[in-house]
Structure 1
């Protein structure tokens, strides 16, 4: 959900909007959808379960769509009543019957859906991609596949495929066999089934695919079927435009405030790039090498999540106790001689000493990040400092502020890190040249490894 600063901005914006409406139009004699919602002090929202939409995590409800919805409820000053569904069509029927105010499917908008529902503003655009298993024969044409495509019933993928395949629902002849729909699996499960060789093809949007490829690196893109499909929230077609107007103002405000960019960065910023070889190697190492060190990471993690510490160690050394870099740093946490001395590490190649020293050093960096910076930004900045030093991190934050952005947001600071190796910028900084692009990649890699470790841990694989 938004930080307190963003919440205050959103609520102030709403007060101004409603005040203008009252002054210009007077109190409406006929209640609008928005006024009815505000009067009952709740907004009823439907969504579907998924990593990118809504799920119950270790720290409570999570998901990109969930946080956007919670932000909208805060914006209106009402309680969020969230109803998760397993079926697209059942959820949409509930919207049509007036039992829901908004539906956030995390799915793209299609022309057929626009005939049934009203939509708020598009807040993201996704690609629709035909997915198969890496190593299998890559198809060249969707109309000449050697196996059917499995898609979720009622999804944007079903609509798009039916159009591409010229599917005739009234007959069972023709290209019908090229598309099979199901209500027993969601899009994420279908991707898992492709990865496990249970099915040959499915179609997924680029957001869901990016999330799942960290877990199943053998997922590959055969064809991009649509380059740009909008994502938006649906409302009843017969409803007046008052809630739609509030949505337009809300999304305008969260974009202007920068909160939408922060949220998008949180869920998708570190997974847009994909490395098949690295992902497979990491998952294999997590299941084979990590177990012998897991107890040490747990023992010395302190207030940190041990899986985050383990992810850092993999980025540093690939969990190799004798690892050494060209700069002379050594061990599982790649400590310099000076850092090792500061944290009582006598043998940098001893796994326990290295993990203990690295954990304490990282905790010290974390404590030096200004208290006003909230999580997870504090952690990502401390991580960058672990790689290039606190001084260079501060240089990047200074550059961020000079350029009119927020030095307390990772999404803004990370864009300035590569400038630390550009003479135009580093000659104006206190600590000079640094390989800031490497620090950025360092943090993004660890975030991906951390995501994978959390999932592997939940699956009982580590």
Structure 2
């Protein structure tokens, strides 16, 4: 008792001296009291209390000034943990916007970003208040209550708040005593409390996004919630099952938050915002030319398709041949890039003609028929920036095709809107091929996969797309080439000659140069070496890999079976610590460097760090799924997320529910929905867009089967 009393007196005096000597803000003092009161045992030892005192003493007691931040070499920032992956941007709106913007700020000033992840918005403000982070880079509503505690940057967005409900719900009346569900810590709570005090507020304390709130409404678990109009427009780009029922009368201003009186850091942020004019808005239709666009610091809007050739999301990274070329063009011209996703060729032309985009960059072949239609639509075409072959796609086991005459009686499935339609018609007329018109919603990559699965006989595709698909589907062959030099070109409006001239200059400078060839090889000439590795022959009692002991040590805190991780490691890298792929993933667990850095891992060449990053990321994906899932199902969903990205798996779960399948079972349920997300009619309504669904399906099955074998081997 005397020891405990002495320790308590010591700690009390220590805290009083610390608070008095350093003039610690009340928030930190409150944190220290909370820490003391939350000890597991009221009979803490002197050593334990001393250790706690040391931790409190080390805690930052004031906001870091700009000079201190710059001297340290890094910015401490916070994000929600479910934002490790962002949604597919369809018209410039994405949660990745703020991460990218802050990264640009840091890069220009030679700094790194140290990301801290928390579960909800309230925790974000708590971390800022206790000086654990320097900034919250997120659209935050500036309210009177928040202004008492924090400072805000120049506005990044001006918006309105809107009540949303399930589509078809027309019974909303703002005068009624309604119940509205809101996430903890959000400014929506203040808005409702002040503007509609008669509404009943139900607080959700879990980590939720606007997408998940919308899902909960559609499922019937809640009736109404409040989001920004900007967030609603993002959701409505790909879903039609929610609607706006009421817009709150007062407009809101959104910005980043820093601590009060941190004027030097705030000045630096505001200077950046002013120079780069980063106000995020949904832009109206416009048809101005390039010089005016740059003068007004407007975004360059590129119209493209969500497809493996052009633009897609993989493990939180935006990728695609067209996307990377346009990003380079935007960087060179010092303009911000916005992607506008269209579903069909005709929709692209319409968006461009109406001034809803500035360039079409979608792997469009410059055919005679298309050139005529382009001119009639008041559009102009660039010089060639790529060349492809027009080839026949067949299954390797089908009857041999050595010449055009062998097409007699064979069936070619193709879309009527395809640039290959004219070729198909000629093959039917001159060589007796049968032509089946494919549904316009079926993309060419799906037709190729149907050939590989023997669902259809033949199709026609360009050599770039065939190169992508053949790296995953070894069953396909190209017995005939119809055209050797099919040019790809960009489209702009005729009244934008400056933009056309800049595009042509870009092509002349970079076409077939080092940058261009690296990007092209990344997507079209980098074969996966799945078959180049012989499977390890394992005997009972033998080790599974050279890294068994490392894996055993790292899985303990996460309750994974070490043999599962070894099975996954084999799938990812065949135990090669220097393995890499074209998309930038590296190491034993094939982690993307950016994702690994956010998990605190810097050297993916080091086996321990590589394994640590993989285990942490698999655990992160598992934590995103409902704890109501059986343990085994959590593993299946986690593996699928690791391979394809958490967002694509959530899309598949939502689609499974819509199809009457079980969203809590992977095999024969969600995996079926995942396969459908390769098809345009499904992925165009998915938040994360196109996914090569067969890859995660095979990934989970292969790892599971190998894991079962490992269990038998190791006993």
Q: TM-score, normalised by structure 1?
A: 0.53
Q: Distance in 2 between matches of 1:205 and 1:312?
A: 30
Instruction: Identify the residue that residue 345 of structure 2 maps to in structure 1.
Output: 88
The answer as to 2:429 corresponding to 1:189 is no
The answer as to 2:695 corresponding to 1:455 is yes
Q: Quick one: structure 1 residues 186 and 453, their matched pair in 2 at CA, closer, same or farther if it must change by over 3 Å? A: closer
The superposition leaves residues 204-241 of structure 1 with CA deviations (integer Å, 9 ceiling, x where unpaired) of 111111111121110111211111111221223x3342
The alpha carbon displacement at 1:299 in A equals 3.0
Instruction: Identify the residue that residue 383 of structure 2 maps to in structure 1.
Output: 121
The alpha carbon displacement at 1:32 in A equals 6.0
The answer as to 2:285 corresponding to 1:33 is no
Instruction: Identify the residue that residue 246 of structure 1 maps to in structure 2.
Output: 502
Instruction: Identify the residue that residue 111 of structure 1 maps to in structure 2.
Output: 368
Kept in 1, the 8 Å contact 2:391–2:482? The answer is yes
In the TM superposition, 1:127-138 aligns within 5 A as: 127-138=389-400
The answer as to 2:261 corresponding to 1:261 is no
The superposition leaves residues 376-434 of structure 1 with CA deviations (integer Å, 9 ceiling, x where unpaired) of xxxxxxxxxxxxxxxxxxxxxxxxxxxxxxxxxxxxxxxxxxxxxxxxxxxxxxxxxxx
Q: Distance in 2 between matches of 1:159 and 1:297?
A: 60
Q: Distance in 1 between matches of 2:515 and 2:553?
A: 30
**Which stretch of structure 1 is more off in the superposition, 227-236 or 258-267?**
258-267
Q: Distance in 2 between matches of 1:115 and 1:179?
A: 26
The superposition leaves residues 343-377 of structure 1 with CA deviations (integer Å, 9 ceiling, x where unpaired) of xxxxxxxxxxxxxxxxx99538x99xxxxxxxxxx
Q: Distance in 1 between matches of 2:548 and 2:457?
A: 41
The alpha carbon displacement at 1:159 in A equals 3.5
Q: Distance in 2 between matches of 1:135 and 1:215?
A: 17
The alpha carbon displacement at 1:44 in A equals 1.8
Q: Quick one: structure 1 residues 268 and 176, their matched pair in 2 at CA, closer, same or farther if it must change by over 3 Å? A: closer
Q: Quick one: structure 1 residues 246 and 200, their matched pair in 2 at CA, closer, same or farther if it must change by over 3 Å? A: same
The alpha carbon displacement at 1:201 in A equals 0.6
The superposition leaves residues 97-131 of structure 1 with CA deviations (integer Å, 9 ceiling, x where unpaired) of 34321111224221111223322222221111101
Instruction: Identify the residue that residue 551 of structure 2 maps to in structure 1.
Output: 299
Q: Distance in 1 between matches of 2:549 and 2:308?
A: 26
Instruction: Identify the residue that residue 72 of structure 1 maps to in structure 2.
Output: 329
Q: Which SS does the other structure have where 2:502 is aligned?
A: helix
Q: Quick one: structure 1 residues 198 and 280, their matched pair in 2 at CA, closer, same or farther if it must change by over 3 Å? A: farther
Q: Quick one: structure 1 residues 47 and 109, their matched pair in 2 at CA, closer, same or farther if it must change by over 3 Å? A: same
In the TM superposition, 1:301-340 aligns within 5 A as: 310=571, 312-313=573-574
Partner residue of 1:146 out of 409, 412, 425:
409
RMSD: 4.6
Q: Quick one: structure 1 residues 175 and 82, their matched pair in 2 at CA, closer, same or farther if it must change by over 3 Å? A: farther
Q: Which SS does the other structure have where 1:250 is aligned?
A: helix
In the TM superposition, 1:376-391 aligns within 5 A as: none
Kept in 2, the 8 Å contact 1:148–1:180? The answer is no
Aligned length: 294
Instruction: Identify the residue that residue 387 of structure 1 maps to in structure 2.
Output: none
Q: Quick one: structure 1 residues 67 and 244, their matched pair in 2 at CA, closer, same or farther if it must change by over 3 Å? A: same
Q: Which SS does the other structure have where 2:409 is aligned?
A: coil
Q: Quick one: structure 1 residues 66 and 361, their matched pair in 2 at CA, closer, same or farther if it must change by over 3 Å? A: closer
Kept in 2, the 8 Å contact 1:129–1:206? The answer is yes
Q: Which SS does the other structure have where 1:50 is aligned?
A: coil
Q: Distance in 2 between matches of 1:456 and 1:264?
A: 24
The alpha carbon displacement at 1:195 in A equals 0.7
The alpha carbon displacement at 1:157 in A equals 1.8
Kept in 2, the 8 Å contact 1:192–1:216? The answer is yes
Instruction: Identify the residue that residue 363 of structure 1 maps to in structure 2.
Output: 606
Kept in 2, the 8 Å contact 1:95–1:103? The answer is yes
Q: Distance in 1 between matches of 2:491 and 2:326?
A: 12
The answer as to 2:319 corresponding to 1:62 is yes
Q: Distance in 1 between matches of 2:432 and 2:477?
A: 24
Q: TM-score, normalised by structure 2?
A: 0.35
The superposition leaves residues 243-285 of structure 1 with CA deviations (integer Å, 9 ceiling, x where unpaired) of 11101222234358732222223223423xx9xxx86686x96
Q: Distance in 2 between matches of 1:306 and 1:235?
A: 49
In the TM superposition, 1:407-446 aligns within 5 A as: none
Instruction: Identify the residue that residue 309 of structure 2 maps to in structure 1.
Output: 52
Q: Quick one: structure 1 residues 247 and 115, their matched pair in 2 at CA, closer, same or farther if it must change by over 3 Å? A: same
Q: Distance in 1 between matches of 2:394 and 2:388?
A: 18
Q: Quick one: structure 1 residues 184 and 72, their matched pair in 2 at CA, closer, same or farther if it must change by over 3 Å? A: same
Q: Quick one: structure 1 residues 297 and 76, their matched pair in 2 at CA, closer, same or farther if it must change by over 3 Å? A: farther
Kept in 2, the 8 Å contact 1:42–1:80? The answer is yes
In structure 1, runs of 5+ residues without a counterpart are 9-30, 168-173, 317-332, 334-359, 368-451
Q: Distance in 1 between matches of 2:290 and 2:553?
A: 48
The alpha carbon displacement at 1:58 in A equals 0.8
Q: Distance in 2 between matches of 1:307 and 1:454?
A: 17
Q: Quick one: structure 1 residues 285 and 313, their matched pair in 2 at CA, closer, same or farther if it must change by over 3 Å? A: closer
Kept in 2, the 8 Å contact 1:307–1:454? The answer is no
The alpha carbon displacement at 1:203 in A equals 0.7
Q: Distance in 2 between matches of 1:224 and 1:253?
A: 30
- Structure with greater proportional helix content: 1
Kept in 2, the 8 Å contact 1:297–1:309? The answer is no
Kept in 1, the 8 Å contact 2:448–2:469? The answer is yes
Instruction: Identify the residue that residue 320 of structure 1 maps to in structure 2.
Output: none
The alpha carbon displacement at 1:72 in A equals 1.6
In structure 2, runs of 5+ residues without a counterpart are 1-99, 109-286, 375-379, 555-565, 578-587, 589-602, 611-691, 703-715
The alpha carbon displacement at 1:53 in A equals 0.8
Instruction: Identify the residue that residue 347 of structure 1 maps to in structure 2.
Output: none
Q: Distance in 1 between matches of 2:317 and 2:605?
A: 26
